[in-house]
Every structure is written in structure tokens, then in C-alpha cells.
Amino acid sequence: MSNIGSYEERYAKFDWKISADELEYGKNGMFNIGYYCSDRIVEKGFGDRVGLIWQGFKGDVKKFTYNDIRIYSNVFAEFLGDIGIERGDRVCIFMDRIPELYMSFIGILKMGGITQPLFSAFGEEALFTRLEDAKTKAIITTRKHAGKIRRIRERLPDLQKVIVVDGVEQNLKPGEIAFNMEGSTPVEHFEIEKVGPEEASVLHYTSGTTGKPKGALHVHSSIIAQYLTAKWVLDITPEDIYWCTADPGWVTGTSYGIIGPWACGITQTVLDSGFNTEKWYQFIEQHKINVWYTAPTAIRLLMKDGTSVVQKYDVGSLRHLISVGEPLNAEGVIWSEQAFNKPFHDSYWQTETGAIVITNYPGMKVKPGSMGKPFPGITATVVDQKTFEPIATTGTVGLIALKPGWPSMFRAYWENKEMYDSKFKNGWYICGDRASIDSDGYFWFVGRDDDVINTGGHLVGPFEIESALLEHEAVAESAAVGKPDQVNMEVVKAFVALKPGYEANADLELSIMNFIRKKLSPLAMPQEIEFVDSLPKTRSGKIMRRLLRAKEWGQEIGDISTLEND
């Protein structure tokens, strides 16, 4: 029997109070996520339960009980207070998936800070944009990534503290603080900040078609949704060993790689390693993982290596499989039934929703290729893209829309009210994705409604790439679009027109690739560059990405009446 039981009954009779009551949310005036992910589990008598099994790429393993998590997060919280970080300050976490990342995440929340996790593969310009926008006061990092911060620090007047968790004084620069979590004096008691339920907790940056990345701001009461979705969708029970493969630089890695599972008091695992098929299966076998939350990109990479590799390992511990990041195609679901004797369950949500909103549930029939149905408490539909009225006809494609008001809904884009307001139309939050609903109420993903590129489950903004491309000495103008990719669904392709005197060749292509990779991130690096004489533009001079994208996907080009050159 799954945790959710009958989906239909749950959906018909639902109140978020179910979750708040189970968590005892707000008892003694406590709303802080940090408390619910550590101290509360210890108070319930599970301090000796392992909360985190961490494994490095060399195979070294560290285990942390809930009491360890409580104490180490206290250590971070106290330290941050001691160096002058105050309630509401933004504290960025910028490191690989090491234990300090997870402990500092909870520690920042406990002392009332707003945690701002950023993907450690970000280049210096991507990092700068996000730190500047958030007016981040402190950043927690490692020696490996400190160089990127050093190169931009002078341009960030608000960034007062740089904390290096594996730093030793002699190899740090002036103004950097060495901090050793495990070497610090344990902090047995820390007065957790009594934040309000609507007080800011986590700031995740996400990309749009135009402008700079936006900071989606979440609040402490988001845990009400993250806890219950972890319990009902991921179907985790206290005895489970759980593996979320997402990096906490992205929202899946915090909502379901930290908050949800730890609020449930389960054992979660982290593999701090690049992708390797055999290593992944070994990891499942070694730690007897029961519940596995991963991404279609990873599933497709595993598929490429075939079922014969799976058979070399004992993966019989797996009980429930879930996928997120981009639509999981039917082939992935069918393959997982062959490889693991159970289907992957696709789940749909985004940075702004904070938690899963449409998904397939354990015990409910999986229609391969479908997104599933709305989570109880979520009113979801598809709306007409002009009138924003719900579409009554089944099978008709519209924009996915959600009735605002679920606990983990973002409350703002950081200092960008206009952009935030633009996401709400006719009383609906518009997700920016297109889908249809079938006669059984299942949602079917069609595609995005904008130019944002979804590569390997991560959204990359074309504007940010194009702006960076223009900084390359040889580039006169450029356009970035998504092109189809068997593994990552989409990858970045750049169309580049060169300045006079530059010649298109393989050396220049490689130079531009590496330029973007270092400046922004490997995700933003064009996997292909096509050199062109000029780019198609509207009569008003705007580059027509839509046309370039349609060409890549073999789609109808549509109305080109405003085209300047063809």
C-alpha cells in the first residue's frame, strides 16, 4: 500500500492542513524549515538514524545521523551569526555536493538567513549576475571554486564575507575566512530564529527568454508542500534509503534533495560524482536504495548502455522510481520496466512552484509519456493562450495553468515585481509550458511556450548566452536556440555572424565554446556553432529566434511577414 492510498479519494477530500498537522507545523511558534529538517527529527527520538550517506567519486563514504545534522547545522548557524550575518541576509552556497553544502543549507535557515544555492559549475559571469542581483552578503565555497569569486569580488560591493570550508589560512586571499565544519567545536544548543511562515527561506535563480535570470523567492511554509509531496509522490517511508540525483544548485536538489526527505526523517544518499553508468548501479547496490528520483537525461544515458549492464548489479532493492526535469518519453518508461521491473513515474513542476504539482502516483496507472494528474490541493488546467480561459475540450493544447495559493508557490521574483505579476493571468499562474488533458484527466506535455532552452532538465536563457557571445572578440551578432538531442532533449546551438577580419573555422568554434563554458556554464556552452553571414531579423531589427529554432526542429516556420531578410 502506498502512502497516498487512493489518489481519487485524496484529491476529492484534501486540505493542506493534513501536512501541517503531521509536521505539527507552527507548534510553539516554530516555522523554520531548519528546525523541521533536523532538531524535530531528533526530538521525535530518531537522533541516531542516519540522515545522510555521502559518497565521493573515489568511493569514500561518510555517514551523518540526524543528531549530526542538527549539530553541524548549528555550527554553521552560530558561525554565520558570529561573523555578522543577520536575519534576511542572502547567503550563497557555491560548492560541489559535499556534506558542508547540506549542513550549511540548514544552518543558514536556522539563523534566519535566506539561502541562495548556485550550481558550482557556473562560470564567473553567471555567478556575478546572480550575486549582484540578490545583493548577496556572504558566500560559502571551497578552494576549488574560490578563484571564480576572486575574479568578480571587486565588482560586488555587497559581498562582505567569503567563507572557504576547506580553507587553510595560508592559501586564502585577504578577506576570505577559513572554516572547518567537522573541526569546529560542536554547538549543542542553538536558538533557532523564530521566523514567520511567510518569511523568505530559499532564493533559486531561473532563466527566462529575455533579461537576466530571475530569483524565485520561497518562504518557510513551503515545507508543507515539500513534505507531503515527498511522502505521497516519492512514497518514502522512514525505513527507506532514498537517492535524489539532482544538484542542490537547482530546485529539485533542495526541495527533494534536502527539505522533503529530511522533513520526513528518512535516510538520503548523495553521490558526489559525474555520471557513470556502472558507478550509479554500484551505488544503488551498495546502499540498497529503495526510492530513486532522477532525470530523463540520466535515464536516457543508462538506456544507451542497455539492460545487460543493469543485470551485472543487484538493484532489487529499488521499490519506486520517479523522474523530473523534462518530459519523460514513453520509451524511458517502457525501458525501466524491462531494466528494473518497474516504471519511472514522471513528475512535473518548476522552480517557481517549489514542489511537484502534476505527477504520476504510486498505485495509479502510468500512461507512458504522460505527466500524470494534479497533486491533491493543486487546481490545474490548460488555458487558451490569448484569453487565458480554461479549455474545456479534451486533447486541445493550451498553457498549463495553476490556481495560486499552494504553500510552496514562489512569493516574488527578487526585486522584480513587474515580472512576477506578469506570470499571473485571469486568476491563474501561467507555467510557460504547453500541454493537453485527455479524457481521463492525464496531462500530456507538448513543449515550452517561450524560447527558453531545457537542456538536461535545466533551463538556460538564450538572452544570457547571446549577451555573453557578444563579448567574444570575434562575434558581431548571435542567436542561441535549442536543438534536438537524444540524451538531453535539447542542447544549445548558436548561430554566429563574425566581425570583419575573422574567419569561421574549427579553432574559432572551439574558442567560442570554451569562452561561454567558462563565462556562464557547461550547460550554456553551445554544443554546435553555425557560422552565418547574417541573422534573420524582423523589420524592427529583432532577431527571429523562432525561425531558427523551427528549422532545427523541422517545424513549420509560420508567419514570416515581418522578416527583414530571408
The CA-based angle 280-285-290, given to 5 degrees, is 95
Comparing CB distances to other proteins, the nearer of 48 and 278 is 278
d(CA 473, CA 75): 47
Comparing CB distances to other proteins, the nearer of 62 and 518 is 518
Upper half-sphere CA count for residue 116 (Cβ side, 13 Å): 27
Please report, to the nearest 10 degrees, the dihedral formed by the alpha carbons of residues 297, 300, 301, 305 taken in order. Answer: 170
Q: Please enumerate in sequence order all residues whose Cβ is within 8 A of that of 51, keeping only pairs 6 or more positions apart, or say none.
A: 38, 41, 64, 65, 66, 68, 69, 262, 265, 266, 267, 268
Q: Please state, in angstroms and as integers, the Cα–Cα distance from residue 557 to each residue in 402, 405, 548, following that order.
A: 30, 38, 9
Comparing CB distances to other proteins, the nearer of 279 and 425 is 279
d(CA 16, CA 224): 7
Residue numbers at the binding site for other proteins (CB under 8 A): 57, 96, 121, 143-145, 147-148, 272-279, 301, 304, 455-456, 486, 488, 491, 506-507, 509-510, 513-514, 517, 522-523, 525, 527
Comparing CB distances to other proteins, the nearer of 192 and 310 is 310
d(CA 26, CA 185): 30
Q: How far is the CB of 9 from other proteins (least distance, A)?
A: 42
Q: How far is the CB of 241 from other proteins (least distance, A)?
A: 22
Comparing CB distances to other proteins, the nearer of 239 and 507 is 507
The per-residue DSSP string of 43-86 comes to IIIITTSEEEEEEETTS-EEEEEHHHHHHHHHHHHHHHHHTT--
Q: What share of the chain is helix, strand, coil (3-state, %, to 5)?
A: 30, 25, 45
Q: How far is the CB of 183 from other proteins (least distance, A)?
A: 19
Q: How far is the CB of 229 from other proteins (least distance, A)?
A: 28
Q: Cell 502534476 appears where?
A: 358
Phi, psi of 390 (to 5 degrees): -55, 140
Q: How far is the CB of 202 from other proteins (least distance, A)?
A: 24
Report which DSSP code applies to 327. Answer: P
Helix (H) or strand (E) holding 301: helix 296-305
Q: How far is the CB of 144 from other proteins (least distance, A)?
A: 7
Q: How far is the CB of 275 from other proteins (least distance, A)?
A: 5
AA identity, residue 244: C
Comparing CB distances to other proteins, the nearer of 50 and 178 is 178
Nearest to 482 by CA among 504, 498, 459, 464: 459
Helix (H) or strand (E) holding 308: helix 307-310
Comparing CB distances to other proteins, the nearer of 62 and 143 is 143
User: Residue 277, SS3?
Assistant: helix
Comparing CB distances to other proteins, the nearer of 229 and 252 is 252
Comparing CB distances to other proteins, the nearer of 237 and 277 is 277
Q: Please enumerate in sequence order all residues whose Cβ is within 8 A of that of 359, keeping only pairs 6 or more positions apart, or say none.
A: 233, 322, 345, 346, 347, 348, 349, 371, 372, 373, 375
d(CA 85, CA 83): 6
Comparing CB distances to other proteins, the nearer of 273 and 416 is 273
Comparing CB distances to other proteins, the nearer of 57 and 553 is 57
Q: How far is the CB of 78 from other proteins (least distance, A)?
A: 29
